[in-house]
Amino acid sequence: MDRRLKILYVIENSCYGGGERTFSMLLRGLPKEKFGLYCASLPSGRFYEETKDRCRFLPLDLARRFRPGNIPLLRRLIAENGIDIVHSQGARADFYSALAASRTGAKAAATVAMPVEGFDVNFFKKRAYAALAALAARRTAAAITVTKELKARLEGRYPRVELIPNPVDLSMFDPRNFDATPVMDRFGLKGKLVLGALGRLEWQKGYPFLLSALKLLLERNPGLKEKLVCLIAGAGSLEARLRELAAAEGVLPNVVFCGEVAEARDFLGALDIFVMPSLLEGQPLALLEAMAMERPIVASDIPGISGTVTSGGTALLVTPGDAQALAEGLLRLIADRPFALRLGRAAGAAAGKSGLPAYLSAHERFYQRLAAGAR
């Protein structure tokens, strides 16, 4: 008899975001001798290609429209495969999974890296998502979240909340082992001072303030106009508006919108300074990856970032939404290269505490406790 714990991961997979990335790490890293691994999501894209050989894939479309039929479909998949724990991520996935698991004997668990308050939806949709999240939370055995601030916010909504910070794969993000040449060649970066940001082009990321900061920076130091390049990697709904803003601010010649990048490690390796002007975050993987690559970092002083780095120790933190403060932070690191390099080295040492083995072990213990409680 197969005594392994059977885990079903449920995620939308309409893009390759932080949820897909962390679930991919779990599916590829958990020991198959201990766990039977299943995944219900769209069977396409990068997430699917990374994980299809590490689990049994069960096609499930959670994208866009509300589909009540997904509840009985998930319930059938749980029963047919003898699933012990249904682990979801994302509002729709959490709702469907909690209601489906509640009638099967399986335990529902949810990773909540971003509460409903931070969703990219209008007021009415946010209210609807909040109602669905509250209903799902009452039927969820335990939630996992990534920062102390989020844990405090979620306690009381779920029966149990556990803190498992996000990981970085230190074997992949190694400052001594990368190839930035393709990035340098593609964007003509030889001899340039390269700033870079990595993340979805959505309001939470604060990119308008980065573009305004670049304008102020170049006004303060006109000599940088021929030398400075700012790479913005990612895709999202604001790309056209950000291009228009860059032109209006007069910084478009110094900005490159890179689109999604295949290798974050090599992109980060091409940067002199990593910038994260976010307004709202859970615990950004890109920040951990930039730390592991020993990049000097200027970032917003907000929960999720301030709980991961220390200002003046492993990064330079500035007031969120303040273009002047961001420009001054960037100018400081540009002017004081020894200080910037010290920040980068300290960030790399701090990232060493967020390695993938600890993340996998924490999930193993979480699943075993959850299953023991079920029994």
Identify the weakest region by mean pLDDT among 118-127, 206-215, 272-281.
118-127
pLDDT above 70 (res 339): yes
What is the 8-class DSSP label of residue 106?
Answer: P
pLDDT at 119: 66
pLDDT at 91: 87
Separation CA 285–CA 222 (nearest Å): 33
**Which CATH number does the domain housing residue 66 bear?**
3.40.50.2000
Rounded mean pLDDT, 314-334: 98
219 lies in some domain:
yes
64 lies in some domain:
yes
176 lies in some domain:
no
**What stretches of the chain adopt beta strand conformation (E)?**
5-11, 35-41, 56-59, 85-89, 107-111, 142-145, 161-163, 193-198, 228-233, 255-259, 273-276, 297-300, 316-318
Beta partners for residue 89, in sequence order: 11, 111
The total of structural domains in the chain comes to 2
pTM above 0.75, yes or no: yes
Q: What is the dihedral of CA 111, 115, 121, 122, to 10 degrees?
A: 150
User: pLDDT over 90 for what percent of the chain?
Assistant: 85
Q: For residue 107, what are the domain limits?
A: 5-167+355-374
Tell whether 12 and 88 lie within a shared domain. yes
DSSP 323-336: HHHHHHHHHHHHH-
Tell whether 343 and 231 lie within a shared domain. yes
Tell whether 147 and 185 lie within a shared domain. no
Q: pLDDT tens for residues 19-77?
A: 999 999 999 999 999 999 999 999 999 999 999 999 999 999 998 667 888 999 999 99
pLDDT above 50 (res 375): no
Tell whether 22 and 133 lie within a shared domain. yes
User: What is the Rg, in whole angstroms, of the alpha carbon atoms belonging to the chain?
Assistant: 21
Tell whether 126 and 269 lie within a shared domain. no
The rounded mean pLDDT for the chain is 93
Tell whether 272 and 369 lie within a shared domain. no
251 lies in some domain:
yes
Tell whether 348 and 359 lie within a shared domain. no
Tell whether 150 and 185 lie within a shared domain. no
Tell whether 218 and 291 lie within a shared domain. yes
Phi and psi, residue 242, nearest 5°: -70, -35
Tell whether 196 and 147 lie within a shared domain. no
Separation CA 63–CA 58 (nearest Å): 15
121 lies in some domain:
yes
139 lies in some domain:
yes
Please, which pLDDT band fits residue 15 given cuts at 50, 70 and 90?
Answer: confident
Q: pLDDT tens for residues 148-203?
A: 999 999 999 999 999 999 999 999 999 999 999 999 999 999 999 999 999 999 99
77 lies in some domain:
yes
